[in-house]
Amino acid sequence: MSIGVFFAVLCAALLHARWNALVKVSVDRLVLLTVLKIKTTIFAVASIPFISTPPVEAWPYIAASVAIHTAYFLFLTISYRFGDLSQVYPISRGAAPLLFAGIAVVVLGATLEFQASIALLLISCGIMSLVFSEKGATGQPKAIGAAPATGCFIAGYTVAEGAGARLSQDALSYILWLNAFNGTPIILIATALRRRELVPQAKRVWKMGALSAIISLAAYWIVLWASTQAPLALVAAVREASIVYALLFGVAFLKEEMDLRKVLSVFVTLSGTALLRVSRDRKADIHPFQVKGSKVRGFILAL
């Protein structure tokens, strides 16, 4: 990985943590996410005339991604309503590969390599330390319940997007088509729940929502570009620096509490997540799980 790509991915990690911080500080997170999705939907729809249409085989994955993304955004709002950014973000990001590994082992009959086993142990220890911290299970039980669920949905939509993008053979086209539909459920849900309050509240957070949309799209496209310039395993590992940025944002700007235990928990979670990313089979572009059957092997995609 060149130094330019390295710093570009670090920038993407910073941007991703930043838009999560914007969601956290928003007075009405559902409305902010609605404005964000309106912006990304407009951009995606405007791009349709210039891109190819995904094949029929990819559309079920688009539908699945839309459904999973909707659940992800709803649980994200719940997590940030009750929990700190510096606690919710590491748990949800760390839980995604952990949950995916569990599914691969239990459902698909995968076996873990030694390095992957160590990585998952580190992630588990880091997350459990955050869960049972002073502001964990006793102080923020709803956030602690919603954050791992958010991680589960991260794992789900990542698998669906990876499979769909591979079937479409055009990642850029696939993602734009996905974003053309991705915001519809959230917009409809916000309209039903907020009704007459939606427009006035949207006006108040319009600038923040637009900024969030730009930041989230920029973060995604940087990682997408970097994945064409360097091994995906290394890109994904550097990308997890967002966990550290979330901790810094939470403490420096949101005035969240920081103690040695939280710092160590985040560091252990980050180390385990990065180790799991790097331990992937780079040639096959799959996770470090040995799975019998070519169809199952092709399904084990990078988070």
pLDDT(229) > 70: yes
pLDDT(138) > 70: no
pTM of the predicted model, to two decimals? Answer: 0.78
pLDDT digits (tens, 9 = 90+) for 152-168: 888 788 778 777 877 88
Of 37-51, 119-133, 288-302, which has the strongest mean pLDDT?
37-51
| % of the chain beyond a pLDDT of 70 | 79
pLDDT digits (tens, 9 = 90+) for 24-72: 988 889 999 999 999 899 999 999 999 899 999 989 999 999 999 999 9
pLDDT digits (tens, 9 = 90+) for 234-257: 676 677 778 888 888 888 888 887
Can you give the three-state secondary structure of the chain, one letter per residue?
CCHHHHHHHHHHHHHHHHHHHHHHHCCCHHHHHHHHHHHHHHHHHHHHHHCCCCCHHHHHHHHHHHHHHHHHHHHHHHHHHHCCHHHHHHHHHHHHHHHHHHHHHHCCCCEECHHHHHHHHHHHHHHHHHHCCCCCCCCCHHHHHHHHHHHHHHHHHHHHHHHHHHHHCCHHHHHHHHHHHHCHHHHHHHHHHHHHHHHHHHHHCHHHHHHHHHHHHHHHHHHHHHCCCCCHHHHHHHHCCHHHHHHHHHHHCCCCCCCHHHHHHHHHHHHHHHHHHHCCECCCCECCEECCCHHHHHHCCCC
pLDDT at 232: 63
